[in-house]
Amino acid sequence: MPRATAVINLDLPGPVISRHLYGHFAEHLGRCVYGGFWVGEDSAIPNEGGIRLDVVEALRALDIPNLRWPGGCFADEYHWRDGVGPRAERPRMVNTHWGGVEENNHFGTHEFMALCELLGAEPYINGNVGSGTVREMSEWVEYLTRDGDSPMVRARKDNGREEPWPVRFWGIGNETWGCGGNMRAEYSADLARQFATYCRDYGENKLYRIASGANEDDYQWTETLMRQISCFGCEATPRTFFQGISVHRYTLSGPWEAKGSATEFTTDDYYRTLASARRTDRILTGHSTVMDLYDPGRRVGLVLDEWGTWWDVEPGTNPGFLFQQNTLRDALVASLHFDIFHRHAARLVMANIAQTVNVLQAMVLTDGDALVLTPTYHVFEMNKGHQDADALTVHLRAEDAVRQAGDAELETLSASASVKDGTVLISLSNLDADEPAEVTLDLRGGALGAAEARLLTADRPQAHNTPQAPAAVAPRPFDGVKATDGGLTLTLPPHSFATVRAPLV
């Protein structure tokens, strides 16, 4: 049986793990918005002003910190004025990226802001650079955030909203290297500077402008953006044009053309997937290293605003809707990512799973009035105590905890820890498909009181939840944690995720 020791110095807190690393993403794609978040006021499904209440309730339990909208690729063909005013009069458009379906614009700015208020989440609005204008984006910021009297403020009031909304996170385009305009890095960086200039801070509202960044390991893109980041000489006080830059990185088990089924996969596929997930660590290190060169003081944040698994769509569903099931394998991809995010907390300021409802690696799947919590949902819930906590470095020394994953080797144990308000939370994943693993937590610089542990596992990595079996993969209390001289010990079952919570004493 693989064995490992995890050394944790309880008295050496590291950077704060921003709550925004647990961020979300809702695109006008398939059934994410329509049928997922939004059912309309006339629906028999319980709703508030058209927003689906079971989805809101499930997501509130995750303490979701922010929600990115309206895309994705959709953001760069979205024209916000089409989505305000009386719904019946809103113009329609074709959603060319996602299934070629007609978009009726019934879910627009006011509906999105109402959703964020119901969720208790900060809005993260992604503006249109690819097919929009500087003026259009500038006026959207004014419409949302300006107080007093101005043309956009009057338009907002005419549409029923007196007060401006607080909006911090603002995306300047999406994937401008691809669906957002097929630009070169140099051109995209110039546009980011131009658009950012006209996205104004009104009153107390301070925008956190996020420039469209790299795909995966395109460090050249990040370097090009970082060279353009500063506005020296254009104002008395040098500032950065944008406060964050994005990167997107999806997890697959093989090539893009052969993504495979979400639920039917071999052990080899399983290990390849987890090895791919682990590569996110290297990619974030690469981008952070480039950013350190230009911004050693870390004024600019790295924003992984799309991450998650991408499988073939479920048989019989629209290929443009990206609807996929979600198994214990997906949950372990998520738990691995969170360990990685916690290690990168000094530079990584936000991460957004793609996507929250009914699309790609979702938290919840809906079918008519039924709602299912996915295994990934449970990882977000079990880990929510890390939000805004101080990271604790985990030094993991393992024996025999390696499996072959195609040409690569996969380390099968992963962990991270944090402390907040005198409570320590430790997350542990055993990725081995067949073997349990014994882990000793060697705690130094302090001691813990009585520990409470929870476990997420199932009989096999392919296990998933359906309306008929909604709790096939669900967390349960775990009484296998034993106190030792200098810490705790536990045996993790194969393909499992566990959390241990205990007070500092």
* 175 carries an active-site annotation: yes
Binding of ligand AHR at residue 487 (CB under 6 A)? Answer: no
* 57 carries an active-site annotation: no
CB 188 within 8 A of CB 179: no
- Segment interacting with ligand AHR (CB under 6 A) among 71-79, 182-190, 203-211, 412-420: 71-79
Cβ neighbours around 168 below 10 Å, total:
17
Instruction: State the nearest-atom distance from the C-beta of 71 to ligand AHR, in Å.
Output: 5
Indicate the residue among 51 and 73 with the shorter CB distance to ligand AHR: 73
Residues sharing a CB contact under 8 Å with residue 186, sequence separation 6 or more, in sequence order: 224
With b meaning 16 or more CB within 10 Å and e meaning fewer, what string describes 301-338?
bbbbbbbbbbbebbeeeeebbbbbbbbbbbbbbbbbbb
Indicate the residue among 355 and 440 with the shorter CB distance to ligand AHR: 355
Q: Which of 51, 62, 73, 262 binds ligand AHR (CB under 6 A)?
A: 73
Binding of ligand AHR at residue 71 (CB under 6 A)? Answer: yes
Binding of ligand AHR at residue 103 (CB under 6 A)? Answer: no
Binding of ligand AHR at residue 354 (CB under 6 A)? Answer: yes
CB 461 within 8 A of CB 501: no
Separation of alpha carbons 68 and 142, rounded Å: 19
CB 418 within 8 A of CB 424: yes
- Of all residues in the shown chain, the one whose CB is closest to ligand AHR is 72
Indicate the residue among 71 and 301 with the shorter CB distance to ligand AHR: 71
Indicate the residue among 27 and 139 with the shorter CB distance to ligand AHR: 27
Q: Which of 111, 122, 142, 175 binds ligand AHR (CB under 6 A)?
A: 175
Q: State the number of binding residues for ligand AHR (CB under 6 A).
A: 10
Instruction: State the nearest-atom distance from the C-beta of 159 to ligand AHR, in Å.
Output: 27
Continuous segment of H or E residues that includes residue 395? strand 390-399
Structure tokens at 350: 């936000």
Indicate the residue among 311 and 497 with the shorter CB distance to ligand AHR: 311
* Residues in the chain, total: 505
Of 63, 28, 105, which is closest to residue 359 (Cα–Cα)? 28
Binding of ligand AHR at residue 381 (CB under 6 A)? Answer: no
Q: Which of 77, 111, 306, 432 binds ligand AHR (CB under 6 A)?
A: 306
CB 405 within 8 A of CB 271: yes
Site for ligand AHR, residues 25 to 64, rule: CB under 6 A: 27
Binding of ligand AHR at residue 304 (CB under 6 A)? Answer: no
Separation of alpha carbons 501 and 451, rounded Å: 6
Quote the DSSP letter at residue 226: H
Indicate the residue among 300 and 360 with the shorter CB distance to ligand AHR: 360
**Residues at the contact surface with ligand AHR, assessed by CB under 6 A:** 27, 71-73, 174-175, 306, 354-355, 360
> Which residues belong to the active site?
175, 306
